[in-house]
Every structure is written in structure tokens, then in C-alpha cells.
């Protein structure tokens, strides 16, 4: 939840953790907790260190203490590297599929749509209701962009996206498959450009209505590390069921990363990392219809993007 105030709002700068830049626009006071609150830290990192000017403008409207974020070098490195890699993936996908669709799970205050979206590409941001309300207050509405208030582990968001794609309601049916065992095979470094277009696997078992969907890229950023095998498997099953042929990209960390991570701004929200995998190959066992394609290593050891074909 956000509270609207009429006081002057200020934003941090890269030079100092104190607020030094002011705006006359009404400010918003975030009332977020836990994982939802982490979106404010990542917003600050994109605005201050990744050159995201829209993110920087949003910081000026938030009445929030970003001191912990300003001192979190580990988070800054992780956010900047994942932002650049995912921007490259999405840009490449848009060039290959200008009439395709992007689904951004756990979108937070992400502004990727505004940086790279093409005129005919449809974009769907999915997050919890309080986060979607924050997006509405801060970012308003844009053509071809839909914000969906739903938990990523619920098929509701997928039904809404498919209805938008198909132009008609569809049956609310998701049947997660039983897990299977998969060996973890180390991957060779892969480029983001190659990862945006993995070879789709043949359909296995039931697929929703078997109605063709446009080329679809499903991004999951800043979420897997807070999940469990069960919840992650549910999300992968939803993607496989509703978007056959889609490319699914999950930001992922290793157990070693979890053990070594020291990110005080995340810790200050009361959140903690609970899940990791040595390779995306290990995640195939959670949903047999998702075929692991590649791992894209990021700058921090144990931090990568796992790419799958649905």
C-alpha cells in the first residue's frame, strides 16, 4: 500500500546516501513489507547505477529511506548485471518477434517495457495487488501494457493473458505434472542473443485447448530465490500449460550464493533467500514439459539466468 502526500519529495544520488534532489510532485509513502518491499531497493539500484532514467524519476516521488540500499554494493552489482542481461534478451526477442508478447512475473516497479517495447508488442506485468497499485500510482497506463494483480503461483494471471491473446475466455485448468529426476549437467557459457530463441520441445501430455499462442517470452526476475521447489514447480507448470512454445527465463542463484550473500538492504526488509540451484538443468525435474536450454552467467559467481523452452 502507498500513502499519497503533498510534501516535497526527494531522491538519493549516487554521490551520497542522503536525499539531495527534490520534486514538487506529490510524494508517495510506501507501506510495503517483506519480499514486496525489496522492489524499492532494486528500483534504487536501476536508477542510480543502471542508467534507468525513469526509475530515477520514480525515486524522486517516494518518501522512503534508501540509505541501506545505497550502501549495498552486492545488491547493486547483482541488479545491474541482471538488468543488462534481461534487457538484451528482451530487446533481441522484440527484434525477432515484433508482434509477440512478454510476460513479466514479479514485475515490481520494473520499467523495461518503457525502455525497449515496440509499437506492436504486448506486455503483461504480473505482481501482487499492493505492487500493482503502486505501479498504477507511479507509472499510470500505457498502450499495449497490462498490469495484472495476481500471485505468480496462481493460474489466474495466465488465464487473463491468454484471454487477451485469444480474444475469448478459456477454461481455468492447470494440471501440474509429477516431478521427475534430472541430472545436473554444467552448461557452457551462452549468449543472451542465442538464449532468446531456443528450439521448442514437442508437446507432452495435455496443453490448454491446444490453441496456438503468439511468440511469448516469460521473464521471472527477483523471485525464484524466495520460493520453494513446490511453488517454483507450480509456476513452471502454469507456463507450460498456458504458453506452449514460450521461452521462460528465470533469474536464479546457487546454494553457495545463498550461503555467502550479504545484502543488508534485503535483510532489512525481513526477507531472506530460501531457494537455489546449481544449474537450470536441475529445475527440469520440477516440470517435465519445460526443457532447459542454457544458463547465462551474470557478473557475480553463482548468479545466472536459466533459460527454458516450454
Please check the confidence at residue 290 and state whether its pLDDT lies above 70.
Answer: yes
Task: Please check whether residues 194 and 271 belong to one and the same domain.
Answer: yes
pLDDT band at 208 (very low <50, low <70, confident <90, very high): low
Residues 220, 223, 225, 231: is their CA dihedral positive or negative?
negative
Q: What is the pLDDT of residue 31?
A: 82
Q: Determine the pLDDT at residue 275.
A: 97
Please give the pLDDT value at position 119. 81
Residues 47 and 183 grouped into a single domain: no
Domain stop point among 11, 44, 73: 73
pLDDT cut 90: percent of the chain above it = 67
Residue with more model confidence, 297 or 28: 297
Whether 54 and 88 share a structural domain: no
Query: How does the average pLDDT of the chain come out, rounded?
Result: 84
pLDDT of residue 203: 40
Give CA–CA dist 102/248, Å, rounded.
Answer: 10
pLDDT of residue 257: 96
Domain boundary among 43, 58, 73: 73
The span from the CA of 307 to the CA of 281, in Å, is: 9
Is 80 exceeded by the pLDDT of residue 170?
A: no
Q: What is the pLDDT of residue 294?
A: 98
Count up the domains in the chain and report the number: 2
Which domain CATH number covers 186? 3.40.50.150
Mean pLDDT of 107-133: 92
Q: Do 95 and 28 sit in the same domain of this protein?
A: no
pLDDT at 15: 46
Helix, strand, or coil (residue 132): helix
* pLDDT band per the 50, 70, 90 thresholds, residue 28: confident
Dist. CA 121–CA 96, nearest whole Å: 11
Confidence tier at 27 by pLDDT (50, 70, 90): confident
- Same domain, yes or no: 110 and 186: yes
Q: pLDDT band at 207, cuts 50/70/90?
A: low
pLDDT over threshold 70, residue 115? yes
Q: What is the average pLDDT across 262-280? A: 93
pLDDT for 80: 97
Q: What is the pLDDT of residues 46-61, one digit of tens each?
A: 999 999 999 999 999 9
CA–CA distance, 188 with 169 (Å, rounded to integer): 42
Residues 265 and 68: beta-carbon distance below 8 Å: yes
Mean pLDDT, rounded, for 302-307: 98
Q: Which three cell numbers stand for residue 43?
A: 528500483
Look at 169 and 38; give whichever has higher pLDDT: 38
Per-residue pLDDT of 249-265, as tens digits, reads 999 999 999 999 899 99
Q: Are 35 and 160 found together in one domain?
A: no
Q: In terms of domains, do 149 and 270 share one?
A: yes
Name, in order, each residue with C-beta under 8 angstroms of 244's C-beta and a sequence gap of 6 or more. 200, 203, 207, 208, 210, 213, 310
What lies within 8 Å, CB to CB, of 107 at 6+ separation is 125, 126, 127, 131, 135, 147
In this structure, are 68 and 215 located in the same domain?
A: no
Residue 167, pLDDT score: 81
pLDDT at 187 over 70: no
Please enumerate in sequence order all residues whose Cβ is within 8 A of that of 43, keeping only pairs 6 or more positions apart, or say none: 55, 58, 59, 108, 109
**37 plus 96 within the same structural domain:** no
Range of the domain at 64: 2-73
Shared domain check, 302 and 228: yes
Of 25, 44, 73, the one marking the end of a domain is: 73
Indicate whether 93 and 42 sit together in one domain: no
Among 34-38, 151-155, 244-248, 290-294, name the one with the lowest average pLDDT.
34-38
Residues 61 and 87 reside in one and the same domain: no
Amino acid at each position: 500500500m502507498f500513502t499519497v502526500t503533498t510534501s516535497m519529495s526527494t531522491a538519493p544520488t549516487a554521490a551520497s546516501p542522503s536525499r539531495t534532489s527534490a520534486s514538487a510532485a506529490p510524494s508517495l509513502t510506501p507501506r510495503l513489507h517483506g519480499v514486496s518491499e525489496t522492489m524499492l531497493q532494486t528500483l534504487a539500484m536501476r536508477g542510480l547505477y543502471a542508467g534507468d532514467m525513469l526509475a530515477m524519476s520514480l525515486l524522486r516521488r517516494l518518501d522512503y529511506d534508501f540509505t541501506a540500499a545505497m550502501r549495498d554494493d552486492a545488491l547493486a552489482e547483482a541488479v545491474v548485471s541482471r538488468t543488462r542481461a534481461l534487457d538484451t534478451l528482451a530487446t533481441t526477442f522484440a527484434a525477432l518477434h515484433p508482434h509477440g508478447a512478454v510476460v513479466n512475473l514479479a514485475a515490481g516497479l520494473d520499467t523495461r517495457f518503457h525502455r525497449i517495447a515496440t509499437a506492436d508488442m504486448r506486455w503483461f506485468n504480473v505482481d501482487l495487488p499492493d505492487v500493482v497499485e503502486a505501479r498504477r500510482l507511479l507509472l499510470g497506463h500505457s498502450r499495449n501494457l497490462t498490469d495484472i494483480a495476481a500471485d505468480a503461483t496462481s493460474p489466474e494471471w495466465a488465464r487473463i493473458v491468454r484471454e487477451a491473446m485469444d480474444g475469448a475466455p478459456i477454461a481455468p485448468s492447470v494440471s501440474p505434472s509429477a516431478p521427475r529426476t534430472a541430472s545436473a549437467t554444467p552448461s557452457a557459457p551462452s549468449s543472451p542473443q542465442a538464449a532468446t530463441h531456443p528450439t521448442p520441445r514437442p508437446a507432452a501430455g495435455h496443453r490448454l485447448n491446444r490453441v496456438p499462442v503468439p511468440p511469448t517470452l516469460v521473464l521471472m526476475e527477483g523471485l525464484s530465490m524466495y520460493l520453494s521447489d513446490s511453488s517454483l514447480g507450480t509456476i513452471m507448470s502454469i507456463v507450460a500449460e498456458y504458453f506452449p512454445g514460450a521461452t521462460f527465463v528465470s533469474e536464479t542463484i546457487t546454494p553457495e550464493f545463498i550461503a555467502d550473500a550479504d545484502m543488508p538492504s534485503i535483510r532489512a526488509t525481513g526477507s531472506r533467500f530460501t531457494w537455489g540451484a546449481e544449474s537450470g538443468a536441475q529445475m527440469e525435474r520440477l516440470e517435465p514439459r519445460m526443457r532447459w536450454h542454457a544458463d547465462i552467467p551474470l557478473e557475480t559467481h553463482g548468479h545466472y539466468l536459466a533459460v527454458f523452452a516450454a
